[in-house]
Structure 1
Amino acid sequence: MTELLAKLLGRLPIGWLQLVHNKTRLPAAVAGVSFASVLVLMQLGFLGALVGSIRLPYDQMNADILISASDMNTPADGSPLPRQRMFEALSVEGVARATPLYYGKIEWKQSDGTIRNLDVFGIDPSSETIRNPAIEARLADIARADVALIDAKTRNAPDGLFAQIANGQPYRFEVKGRTLTVVGTFEIGGGFTADGYLVISDQTFLRLFPQRAAGAPNHILVSLAPGADVRSTIERLRAVLPAYDSSVRTVAEAFDKDRAFQTTQRPVGLVFGFGIVIGVLVGIIIVYQVLSTDVAEHLKEYATFKAIGYPQRFFLSIVFEEAAILAALGFIPGFVVSLGLYAMIAAATGLPLAMTGARAVFVLIGVLGMCLLSGAIATRKLARANPADLF
């Protein structure tokens, strides 16, 4: 290692030699950097899982444009829309199809008394509202009263239940005073606010939620005619639909608004954001303590070099060398541990938690910057020191 660093640096790797000289400090410093790396990677992973779970319902919408209530932030909140807006949208040039989407939540009580929260899509079975082959293949089934399809990725469901349903054995359960018959499955996945999804017809939805009116869906999904321009169609829709109760966006724009709301205004998003900041601060403090102690122990040696004319950048290069080595040695085990934790948590919770190359590179660069910043702070004492006063 010493020879390799000597070739890379073009000089004796003083920083590396100082790190390995103390047999206990180096492992402690690497462990500290690894801990900070794990903390940041996990918080970014949770934040990514939150964003991924926010995206799930939008990915299922078979539409180019989404019309929602003007106060809508997430698919589940916001006021219902007058169904009249759907007919008004159909009269706009460039619109080929407009279909209502009803959105609700139910509690699915298990035999052991535990409860699973399900987000419910109420759709028109005569229209391809949802972009999911497994759902599209069973539209005729859910057209029957009180018939449903369930998300096979729903968390903590009874063992073997979804295999049983997939093999043609219906499953019945009671909710809101009605008995639903589940005849098929599809896959979407749970998130932070729901364990999974349930798809039923709009008529079944209205029977399940009697307080809701047929003339007030949550969203209207708009598909464009071939060759129609999205931006021009949105502008025409905005000119026709009243802004006081309707908001017109592409599905991607609706997702972006939802993501910004949940990551900056909802507690869970803010907690993960603060977790990232805390991880960075922990890493800076640990590396600073290691490097500042090292500088203090070798202050007389550094002063000798300073007295014979070595510039400040020479000492910075030594400390930065130490900082870069700590960043590399600390990130690798932190990355490996994070991969294991990602797999464990994803398997236990069903959250869309996965390591991405961009995230790994981003954190590596961040850890390197964190260590270099700590090194720059640690050398301030040396920059102010007078060699004559150190002997």
Structure 2
Amino acid sequence: MRSGQVLVTGASGFVGKWTVVELLRAGFTVRASVRSEDKAEAVRQAVTHQLGEDILYRLSFVKLNLMHDPGWTRAMLRIDAVIHAAGVVLSGGPDNPQRVIGPAVEGSERVLRFATLAGVKRIILTSSVAAVGYGHGSVRGVQHFTADDFTDIDAVRRPAAAVTGATMAERGAWAYARQEGLALTTIHPGHILGKGLDSDVSPSLQLIGWLLDGSRPKVPDIGVSVVDVRDVAALLVAALHQPATIGQRYLAASDYVSFAHMGFILAAAFPDWPVGLEVLPDWRIRLQAAFGGPMRGFINDLGHEKHYDRSKAEALLAGPLISGREAIVAAARSLIQFGLVSSRTTVESPAGGN
């Protein structure tokens, strides 16, 4: 598929905005799903800043809600493909897991159901490595996962909303696609960082903010597999171009980076910022997680170092993924640029980075 009209759900999100930009850059017409006119204007501004105003004639908007049916029938009219980029990203474990699980599972089902009713066959689903790397036993240490690995939520010792939601949504999507004959591809990002297009960035960048401004000077002795948001958007669009991606899963994660190493990267790139570098012992994390809050989301990763095979993603993009270091530095620069973090010292131009 080299042209046509694509519906992008969650178009005002961190991934969604970049996906809209990359689709327009590639020559597609985009119908962008948003929750309000304010969100639509933010997408227009992001597109204009990247591509200029002349491209806006290929961009339109529709107001949709993942949890409600109204509007979806009209939204699917004359659509050639759907990129489902919408979801709920929280900085810590939610008080109510259904805040994440509900939109992930029910939202994906609603997208597929209305696409089927409209005769839309081509679907690109944004999932997560959370649907890949959990429930594989109590093996500690370095683990390697490929696109053939699936999370077993029944075997996850401490179920997390993000893991449960992503896994159930993907499992349901593949079952529905087989039943209805849909041409489905799933993209599984790691921890999404990189350059923000405006101040409405993902909570996934909050970790960088905590480290950069020293508000969380002590970090867990764990890490994440990082991916740059620009690579995620590029993969979503590349999947439309390549029919061979139908029926395939792609893991989008460049480098595993420990939180301590993130701190060293930020301290080197932003020497005037009070970057937190102290590592918390595991027992402190377990204690804090027992009372909820941000640490709850990390409990399943203690003692594990998860690496995800990026070879299929790099083959699809015909080149390497952006490095974890570059994604981290770009995220920090965005937080500074949009005034989302503040330093106790005078900030000079960041050293290093690309």
TM-score over 0.5 (shorter chain): no
Mark the structure with the bigger radius of gyration.
1
Which TM class, normalised by the smaller chain length?
under 0.3
TM-score by length of structure 1 reads 0.21
TM-score by length of structure 2 reads 0.23
Give the number of the structure whose residues are more often helix, by fraction.
1
